[in-house]
Chain A
Amino acid sequence: MNPEVMHRLQFAFTVTFHYLFPQLTMGLALLIVILKTIALRTGDERWDQAARFWGRIFGINFVFGVVTGIPMEFEFGTNWAQFSRMTGGVIGQPLAMEGVFSFFLESAFLGLFLYGEKRLTRTWHWLSSVLVFLGSWLSGFFIIVTDAWMQHPVAYQINARGQFEITSFLGLLTNPWAILQYLHNMCGAVITGAFVMAATGAFYLLEDRLQEYARIYLRVGVTVGILASIAIIFPTGDLHGKYVAHHQPVSIAAMEGLFHTEKGAGLVLMGQPDETTGQIDNPIVVNSVLSFLIYGTTKAEVQGLDAFPRDQWPSTLPLLFYAYHIMAGLGTYFVAVMALAAFLLWRNRLWTSRWMLWALLLSFPLPYIANTAGWMTAEIGRQPWLVYGLLRTGQGFSSTVSASNTLFTLLGFMGLYTLLAILFIVLIYREISRGPGVEAHALTTH
């Protein structure tokens, strides 16, 4: 067994599972603030009740996010020791800041938000939801700063011991890659939150119960959903893509399945890249669109994979191609479905359009897939580097931890996380079937 592959598999598995939870909590945090703000301004108890329900869903997701997140910080050291030793002075910084600035904030005020409503005034309770939102979004920012430095190292130098150290703290935090990736990523989180909220509303309407709450959820979910679905493509996705094309041209070539450098390169919508023959099987291509998307003109030359030495191609190239296409395809679908729903909402026909409600209900898993595929695109696209252009993945893992030991712990994580997934589904299913507005709800107390 190859130890590098085992370390990568374990990190990929644990981080993929982990991010199923924060993407919802970050998105929901914003939606809960919206619900609480309307409740505070109108004094309408139903919006408070609606927020309480999502607070419970948030709480369950938060727990799973916390417990699956702790391993992530540890795994930098346990599985990627050589990488940590060389880069700790740089990326240890945002990782520590995440704990100090966001987790303390989030945990303290989530406790108050969930368990302290009776002890707080309405304004303070609203404020606690805002602070939870702030904490969770800050946490996302610090993680993206960490990842962005690995993708696009800035403001660093290499010292006499061969370790990276930062030369500008501000430069690290304002890495353009980080800003673009953050905006793009947060749109993704909001889409997950919005689709889950809209799907829950659709579920209640189709079930013909809890209409009042269902309409609140649909109204908020669809309104926020359409805005975020547009923003994730334009401007954030567009800008981020162009930045990647500029700084990681080989990744873009692999994502798009462009094996040969071309003028007026076409956009491959579908197909299967074949690394040995260097072509796309069963391609569906739109002429010249790729050149236009990257350079704004249909005539521009786009570098293909053949412009780069083979040892710089992203490893597992087909997976990168598929991940990227799944993300982009679903992103397009989100705009379509949310635009339709928003139109029906505007014409006041959404409540009765059962086909639309079914579409919204069945779409809720898709943002999870799109977010996962997006992260796979970013991280596989970075290969074969840990720190782009500077430190190869094969030089970063813990050489003292054998492949056998890593397999042992990977199996452990798989078993444990399977149980967690079952428990999570049961709990969320129960909360949703019970619904908002159920008083004397003894099961959420502490």
Chain B
Amino acid sequence: MMGVLWFWLVGCMIVAYVVLDGFDLGTGVLHLFVAHREDERRMVVQSIGPVWDGNEVWLLAGGGTLYFAFPWLYASAFSGFYLPLMIVLWLLVVRGVTLELRNHIDVGVWRALLDGLFAVASLLLTIFLGAALANVIRGVPLQADGYFFLPLWTDWRPGVHPGVLDWYTVLGGLLACTALTLHGALWLSLKTTGEVERRAARLVPVLWTVVLVLTLLSVPATMAVQPATLVNYNRYPVTYLLPLAVLGSLVATLLLHRRGQAFRAFLGSCAYLACMLVGACWGLFPTLLPATTGADRSITLSAAISSPYTLHVGLLWWIFGMLLAILYFTISYTMFCGKVGRVSRHP
């Protein structure tokens, strides 16, 4: 019971990370396209500057929670995905530094370099995040000792010994990339003004169409690569509402955007991302990491869960900590709500 609870608590933290950091990643992908002049760039950076770091903390808090609730999963997955995770770390370093420090540089050439690096790092991160999720759904070649090591690529086909990148995970990467870019475009049309807002808004329908196509493609692809994802859905048919909610929120996003309701459109995109992730988690449950080398080697909830005392104590401080975190986020987002000004100078 505790195991099931922690599965979904970690799931919630991943959703929070993707929904929150998702918009600043998407903003990073877009900023070269929607902001051309320096004052426009500043407006874009200002829209995420005070909040991106807090958003990224969800990744750390989620990772830490995974660590103590499912130590074996954490150990096996993190060492098995060694190379892609290191690349993700480097990208996170580059992205954080370039975003925060561009405004400290007053030489145009160097600032342009930082802007470019920020965009590239954001883009690659969105792809890697999607590919990571697709890897977990597809499964990994777990050995008898519960560990594995994935090369970056092998023959680009999912199979018993796939690489991190194969056609399926690349599809997942592209889907995440466009979905988060759409998320970012909706954030920008909510937070910015003038030309930037108009350019971001113009990109929404284009991105939306690609997201829709890729989402629809991902369904048969997932069923082909990992048929076991359907087991839970067939056992509880009511959960087929989840994929419907995915489509519903995606359609609602575009309709609300067309009506000029930027905030609600953004919420629609949040709902889309959340439903996609919850749907994927539900497809996996109660497996945490499927094995391509035989189902008996899969890492399951009951095998990886920590001891009851650890989880009980953890639950107490976790609930308290989450209430505090929600309070901080409310204060912070309220304080910086509304459209960002053109260039507000430091006092």
Is B321 a contact partner of A446 (Cβ separation < 8 A)? no
Q: Which chain B positions have C-beta within 8 A of A66?
A: 53, 56, 96
Is B78 a contact partner of A96 (Cβ separation < 8 A)? no
Is B61 a contact partner of A99 (Cβ separation < 8 A)? yes
Is A81 a contact partner of B79 (Cβ separation < 8 A)? yes
Is A104 a contact partner of B101 (Cβ separation < 8 A)? no
**What separation, in Å, do the CA atoms of A277 and B146 have in the docked complex?**
45
With A78-B79, A105-B328, A165-B309 as contacts: A63 and B335 at CB distance below 8 Å = no
Is B324 a contact partner of A445 (Cβ separation < 8 A)? no
**What separation, in Å, do the CA atoms of A165 and B45 have in the docked complex?**
44
Interface size class of B (residues with CB under 8 A): 35 or more
Is B101 a contact partner of A440 (Cβ separation < 8 A)? no
Contact with B along A14-33 (1 / 0, CB 8 A): 00000000000000000000
Q: Which chain A positions have C-beta within 8 A of B335?
A: 112, 116, 119-120
Is A92 a contact partner of B101 (Cβ separation < 8 A)? no
Q: Which chain B positions have C-beta within 8 A of A100?
A: 61, 64-65, 317-318, 321-322, 324-325
Is B75 a contact partner of A88 (Cβ separation < 8 A)? yes
Judge whether B69 is part of the interface by a CB distance below 8 angstroms: yes
Q: Which chain B positions have C-beta within 8 A of A68?
A: 93
Q: Which chain B positions have C-beta within 8 A of A169?
A: 313
With A81-B78, A97-B64, A98-B64 as contacts: A444 and B103 at CB distance below 8 Å = yes
Contact with A along B57-97 (1 / 0, CB 8 A): 10111111101111110111111111101100110111011
Is B101 a contact partner of A60 (Cβ separation < 8 A)? yes
Q: Which chain B positions have C-beta within 8 A of A105?
A: 324, 328
Interface 9-residue window, one of B174-182, B256-264, B268-276, B338-346? B338-346
With A63-B101, A400-B148, A446-B46 as contacts: A96 and B76 at CB distance below 8 Å = no
Is B149 a contact partner of A165 (Cβ separation < 8 A)? no
Is A166 a contact partner of B309 (Cβ separation < 8 A)? yes
Is A78 a contact partner of B67 (Cβ separation < 8 A)? no
A300 → B minimal CB distance (Å): 41
Contact with B along A252-287 (1 / 0, CB 8 A): 000000000000000000000000000000000000
> Nearest residue in A to B97 (C-beta to C-beta)?
A67
Is B344 a contact partner of A77 (Cβ separation < 8 A)? no
B40 → A minimal CB distance (Å): 14
**What separation, in Å, do the CA atoms of A416 and B147 have in the docked complex?**
29
Contact with B along A168-186 (1 / 0, CB 8 A): 0100000000000000000
Is B89 a contact partner of A95 (Cβ separation < 8 A)? no
Judge whether A111 is part of the interface by a CB distance below 8 angstroms: yes
Query: Which one of A70, A77, A87, A399 contacts B78 once the chains associate, using CB atoms below 8 Å?
Result: A77
Q: Which chain A positions have C-beta within 8 A of B68?
A: 88-93, 95-96
With A84-B71, A443-B104 as contacts: A108 and B54 at CB distance below 8 Å = yes
Query: Which one of B45, B69, B309, B332 contacts A446 once the chains associate, using CB atoms below 8 Å?
Result: B45
Judge whether B248 is part of the interface by a CB distance below 8 angstroms: no
Q: Which chain B positions have C-beta within 8 A of A97?
A: 64, 317, 321
Judge whether B227 is part of the interface by a CB distance below 8 angstroms: no
Across the A-B interface, the 10 shortest Cβ-Cβ residue pairs: A88-B71, A77-B78, A92-B68, A96-B64, A446-B49, A99-B61, A92-B67, A100-B321, A81-B79, A85-B75
